[in-house]
């Protein structure tokens, strides 16, 4: 007997703040809704500095939990490592059908492959510069450039102006030529 309620796939959303623009958030969650329910929403980065301050309002609006990773040393991947550890913990909890990895960083290629090996769907989101290896490791990969809201301009929302009307006599030469 089938359940009356169709099961939406439960997805864990893991965002690499160091490699993701906050401008994609609205489009990101609209796109994710096509694949399932964003059950866990986490973002990783060093939010103590000014570089990631632009995420503040977006975290609240979309109920994204920030996971603070201090940058103790320049060039190290503390945020990436935390994201990978959490992804594996979430995978082994058995509560998720899939993962959305939001980054343009090739460091997540092996993570995407490992999640898929365990039967999880992996949806990648990143810039067009994202290495092919990470894109191919995902079931589907969506370019974040396609998720940025395009500002509407007054010219593009206004109806086109009709061409100036010509007197009927202007049609006579055209009709004679057609005959």
Domains of the chain: 10-149 (3.40.50.1010)
pLDDT at 179 over 50: yes
| Ramachandran region, residue 75 (left: φ > 0; alpha: ψ -120 to 50; beta: rest) | left
pLDDT value, residue 157: 55
Helix axes 78-93, 109-117, angle to 10 degrees: 0
Distances (CA, A) of 25 to 17, 63, 72, 85: 11, 11, 27, 23
Cα–Cα distance for residue pair 81/87, rounded to 1 Å: 10
| Element holding 178 (H helix, E strand) | helix 171-178
Q: Which residue has the tokens 């060093």?
A: 46
Mean pLDDT of 142-165: 68
pTM of the model: 0.79
């Amino acid at each position: 007997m089938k359940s009356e309620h169709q099961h939406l796939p439960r997805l864990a959303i893991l965002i690499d703040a160091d490699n993701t623009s906050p401008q994609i958030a609205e489009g990101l969650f609209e796109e994710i809704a096509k694949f399932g329910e964003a059950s866990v929403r986490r973002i990783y980065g060093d939010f103590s500095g000014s570089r990631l301050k632009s995420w503040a309002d977006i975290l609240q609006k979309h109920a994204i939990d920030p996971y603070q990773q201090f940058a103790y040393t320049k060039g190290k991947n503390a945020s990436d490592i935390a994201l990978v550890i959490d992804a594996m913990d979430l995978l082994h909890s058995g509560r998720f059908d899939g993962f959305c990895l939001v980054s343009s960083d090739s460091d997540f290629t092996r993570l995407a492959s490992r999640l898929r090996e365990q039967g999880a769907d992996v949806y990648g989101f990143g810039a067009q510069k994202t290495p092919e290896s990470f894109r191919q490791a995902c079931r589907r990969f969506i370019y974040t450039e396609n998720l940025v809201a395009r500002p509407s301009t007054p010219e593009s929302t206004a109806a086109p102006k009709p061409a100036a009307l010509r007197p009927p006599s202007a049609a006579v030469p055209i009709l004679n030529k057609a005959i």
